[in-house]
Structure 1
Amino acid sequence: MNDADLVDNLTALESLLQVTFHDRTLLRRAITHHSCCPDTAVHDSYDTLEFLGDAIISAHVVEYIYRTHPDASEGEMTAVKSEVVSRRVLAQVGQQLGLFPFICVDIANLRTFNERSRDSLCADVLEAIVGAIHIDQGTEVAREFVTRTVFPMIELVSTHAIDTNPKGRLQKVVLQRTGHLPRYRVLEQSGRHNDRVFLVGVFEQEQLIATGKASSIKEAGRLAAREALQLLQKKDKRSSADDTTA
């Protein structure tokens, strides 16, 4: 790649990232695999920037989870954080951003190269870019980039965690809020024999929080708990926003 092509490539990448670098050598380094510079990899490849970016992403993700999931236990927060900063999720973010075409890698010198290698490179470069942004632009710009690219995955992962055991999570949340267990009640049932449908409500003390409808009481209760968790989560976020603006 000649100098003009390199400049055009970095300009296109900055547009993609929505970040304009003061020192473009940092950006170039953030997308350079050590296979392209084996003799000067410490200074010219993304390895050490990746190390920095990994720590920065983790710190921002942990703070966000702490602030937005106040009823989660340490174990639940750890599970969400571990999944969000995993190679799989960061690779997905990097692929969605379209990072791979910008990565400088000497594929011929790699022992193997496949889709897994592509994902791994995207995860590495995403972390390296965060490190480069932090050094070049400062903490706030790096945080804004992580907020824009990585934070949306937190809600997806959290929703999955809620789906696995919503009744257990809701029990913990309601106990912390009121000191009482949530109660489930069949509100309606319709249909005949093998075609029955149950509407189950979940209550916080005497207040109906949410309902779920399914062909079994158990599944309807699970859906009600899942809906209740989502509603309480939204309510807590609104309260936090109101406290911030007050």
Structure 2
Amino acid sequence: MAGMNRNYDELEKKIGYQFKDINLLITALTHTSFANELKVNKTDSYERLEFLGDAILEYIVSEYLFLKKKEYEEGRLTKLRASLVCEFTLSQISESLGYGDYVRLSKGEELTGGRKRKSILCDLFESVLGAMYLDGGIEPAKEFVHRFLLDDVETKSLFYDAKSTLQEFCQKHGRQLSYELIEERGPEHSKIFVSDAVINGKVTARGEGPNRKTSEQMAAYKTLLQLRKKQD
């Protein structure tokens, strides 16, 4: 089967875990479209592993926050957890680990940019985690999440509330914040929106996304990263 004999050593080095059963990793990197295209049994895609990985991830992050953020009440813990496991954050980590280069997609999914699609990259974070848990238990799964997601909670959780965080900052410092839609491009089914964040009439950052709101959020996120650098 195509992709079955691929060398996964490089990926295992990046994630810091060597699989005893490499087929678990292969399944974790198999999109439903690929399984369907080859008329493979549907359980051969990553969907079931993603379901498991989602629960494992929630447990690991919840335990970490419970132990580390003793001063936070339940509502604040819930919000912080949601910001850490959001699609943007998980897809960024998957992208940095090169999951997009290894995922097995149908020809159609490949042609429409599936390797870089945030929703797929987010799924892969969870499916590989699920595979890791089945292969080696909770310890390597914890190690992975701590190393790649919980290494910098403050920055990793920034995107989720970027617009409201930046708004609060500007109100506090008496600055005027606005967003300008600069461009819409691409075909109707996969449009890209481009927006600028503008503070006191000056463009601070530019963001892109599949809709206007996400492009503004990305611009706000980039602005917050810049502000944070200045404070360091």
Could you tell me the TM-score, scaled by structure 1's length?
0.59
Number of residue equivalences = 164
Conserved 8 A contact 2:11-2:98? no
Q: Does structure 1 residue 35 correspond to structure 2 residue 33?
A: yes
Contact 2:54 2:126 in 1 (8 A): yes
1:12 aligns to what SS in structure 2?
helix
Larger Rg: 1
Matches within 5 A, 1:24-173: 24-38=22-36, 39-108=39-108, 110=109, 113-114=112-113, 118-157=117-156, 164=165
1:114: Cα distance to partner? 4.0
- Per-residue deviation, residues 85-125 of structure 1 (Å, max 9, x unmatched): 111111111112221101111142x4983479622211111
Alpha-carbon contact 1:30-1:132 (below 8 Å) kept: yes
Matching residue of 2:206: none
One-letter identity of the residue aligned with 1:21: F
Q: 1:11 aligns with which of 9, 12, 22?
A: 9
Partner of 2:112, secondary structure, is coil
Structure with the higher helix share, 1 or 2: 1
> What percentage of residue pairs aligned between the two structures are identical?
31
Q: CA RMSD in A?
A: 2.9
Deviations 1:208-243 (A, max 9, x none): xxxxxxxxxxxxxxxxxxx9xxxxxxxxxxxxxxxx
Compute the displacement of 1:152 (Å). Answer: 2.5
Instruction: Check conservation: 1:57, 1:127, Cα contact below 8 A.
Output: yes
SS in 2 for 1:14: helix
Shift of 1:146: 1.0
Confirm or deny: 8 A CA contact 1:52 1:131 kept in the other structure: yes
Take 2:102 and 2:33, find their aligned partners in 1: how far apart are those partners? 15
- Aligned counterpart, 1:178: none
CA offset at residue 42 of structure 1?
3.1
Are the equivalent residues in 1 in contact too, given 2:29–2:104 (CA < 8 A)? yes
1: CA distance, partners of 2:41 / 2:125: 18
Answer yes or no: is the 8 Å Cα contact 1:84–1:153 preserved in 2. Answer: no
Query: Which blocks of at least 5 consecutive residues in structure 1 are unaligned?
Result: 167-226, 228-246
Structure-2-length-normalised TM-score:
0.62
Task: Work out whether residues 29 and 127 of structure 2, in 8 Å CA contact, stay in contact via their aligned partners in 1.
Answer: yes
Answer yes or no: is the 8 Å Cα contact 2:25–2:131 preserved in 1.
yes
**Separation (CA, whole Å) in 2 of partners of 1:82 and 1:131:** 19
Deviation for aligned residue 1:44: 1.3
Is the counterpart of residue 22 in structure 1 residue 20 in structure 2?
A: yes
- In 2, Cα distance between equivalents of 1:73 and 1:115: 39
Instruction: Give the superposition deviation at 1:137.
Output: 0.7
